Amino acid sequence: MKTNQEKIFTAVQIQSAHSKVKSGADFPAYIKAIKELGVTHYEAYVADGHIDYHGADHHTATTPAKYETLTIADTAKIETFKAELLAHQQGKTDYLTFIKMCATCGIEKWEICMEQMTCTYFDKTGNEILIEKIPGA
């Protein structure tokens, strides 16, 4: 029996917070909202859009696939990815455009760490492509 009041979040709560994200410019507010729900880290998968959210005591909530499966390029196009990521973070592209760009550039997933406030992008072989600090979250 738990003696402390750990936050147990649901996929519905996560999806509600995510529904407010219209572009990369909205991302820091989203991170703050899900951190307040008790999320410690998560992995977002580019191929189908499902996300595994993790919290205390091995709690995990998974949101379902969001779109038809995309093919992830075998070779990472790092410089193209960085330029397109910057455009997305400035609000110049929507989420689906960003996701398709990730697939084309060989990005398989990204992991968000709430404690370190970092976002790490990985290729298909698990190599770290880019680690960024999350601003303003």
Per-residue model confidence as pLDDT tens digits over 43-76? 999 999 999 999 998 999 999 999 999 999 999 9
Q: Which CATH number is correct for 11-133, 3.30.70.920, 3.40.50.300, 3.30.365.10, 3.30.1810.10?
A: 3.30.1810.10
> Which strands, in side-by-side order, build the sheet including 128-133?
60-63, 51-54, 41-45, 107-113, 118-123, 128-133
The reported pLDDT for the residue numbered 6 is 60
pLDDT confidence bin for 8, thresholds 50/70/90: confident
Mean predicted confidence (pLDDT) in 118-122: 96
Could you tell me which of 11, 8, 39 has the C-alpha nearest to residue 112?
39
The token pair that represents 116 in the structure block: 């370190």
Alpha carbons 130 and 121: distance in angstroms, whole number: 5
Secondary structure percentages of the chain, helix, strand, coil, to 5: 35, 25, 40
Mean local confidence (pLDDT), 106-126: 95
The structural domains of the chain, with segments of one domain joined by +, span 11-133
pTM score, whole prediction: 0.83
Q: pLDDT at position 136, please?
A: 65
